[in-house]
Amino acid sequence: MRETRGQKVFKVFNYTFLSLLGLATFYPFWYVLIASFNEGRDFQKGGVWLIPRVFTLENYSRALQDDAIFRSLGISVSATLLSMLISLIFTALAAYALYVKTLPGRTFFTFFWYFTTLFGGGMIPYYMVLRGLGLTKSFWLYIFPSIYSFYNFVLLRTNFETVPYELRESAQLDGAGEVTILARIYIPLSKPILATLTLFNAVGKWNDWFTGAYYQSRAALYPAATVLQRLLMEATASNRVQTEQEMVMRDMHTMRTYTPMSMQMAFVMILTMPVVVVYPFLQKYFVKGVMVGSVKG
């Protein structure tokens, strides 16, 4: 069928609008990228918009030489991997257990888990609980509180319900136990939703600066996101005291080509790139996973 004039106008408008929207979304990331590869003193002069004017890798080398930054990256990587793995195992076990129709108290436990998500004690009671458990000075602060998520539990159990129940009964007739049924039937058939939950957990934990900033008492255990947040706060405070011209003159006097702002840009890219690299490989599973439960019949 031939398109009408109105349809052609709408298509042109739609493509133009989406292209501009995509450009507006992508450019801030590109601006930080070119700033991280540009000399800090030169970048403060302004006029760097599309490509680095004076290319350098010193911002990254200086950022990675900082022991605090390098240590925080290790903490973030360890916390993300451990939290993701333990959370998926716990969520899969809970979702499968409450999916089984013959489980005694199945309805009660499901309602209990849902009911507790409706209320929260607030920051102070939560901090007191963490301190009472000895987590405020421990690396496990980033692991234990994030093991359980009712939202992830609902998504995974909904996906299990799409698997024919007869597969479980057939495996039981062949002598398979519950762990075998979960590991060899339900987990392989749930790759899309598992990839989606992995992405949710990994991105959420990797970008979590709040936990380290407000609940962690040991600065040596700050994750990378918290260190970045503190660097940005310190830079904002210093900019209020010193003008840009004073900062440029100070850097020229010390013969440095990098500045606190250029190192921040480099650290932002270091913190962002793992998610950018991993996301394309999980995107196809992510699209399938978010559709779980949306179509019935």
At 269-278, the pLDDT tens digits run 888 888 888 7
Q: Whose CA is closest to 263, among 297, 289, 219, 232? A: 232
Task: Output the CA torsion 284→290→296→297 (10° steps).
Answer: 10
Mean pLDDT (the chain) is: 82
Question: Which residue's entry shows tokens 């932002």?
Answer: 268
pLDDT at residue 162 is higher than 50: yes
According to the model, what pLDDT value does residue 239 have? Answer: 55
According to the model, what pLDDT value does residue 20 have? Answer: 94
pLDDT bin (cut points 50, 70, 90) of residue 240 is low
According to the model, what pLDDT value does residue 107 have? Answer: 86
Tell me phi and psi for residue 51, to 5 degrees: -135, 155
Question: Rounded CA gap, 283 and 144, in Å?
Answer: 28
Chain-centroid distance, C-alpha 99: 28
Task: Output the pTM of the full model.
Answer: 0.75
- Angstrom CA distances, 11 to 1, 23, 106, 249, stand at 15, 18, 51, 53
pLDDT at residue 289 is higher than 70: no
**Domain spans in the chain, listed from the N-terminal domain onward:** 67-289
The burial class, CB within 10 Å (0-12 / 13-18 / 19+), for 57 is exposed
According to the model, what pLDDT value does residue 123 have? Answer: 87
Q: Do 209 and 226 touch, CB atoms closer than 8 A?
A: yes
Q: Do 138 and 220 touch, CB atoms closer than 8 A?
A: no
Q: Which residues contact 96 (CB under 8 A, 6 or more apart)?
A: 157, 160, 178, 182, 186
Q: What is 67-289's CATH number?
A: 1.10.3720.10
Task: Output the CA torsion 169→195→199→275 (10° steps).
Answer: 160
pLDDT at residue 251 is higher than 60: no
Across the range 57-72, mean pLDDT stands at 81
pLDDT bin (cut points 50, 70, 90) of residue 294 is very low
Question: Rounded CA gap, 267 and 254, in Å?
Answer: 22
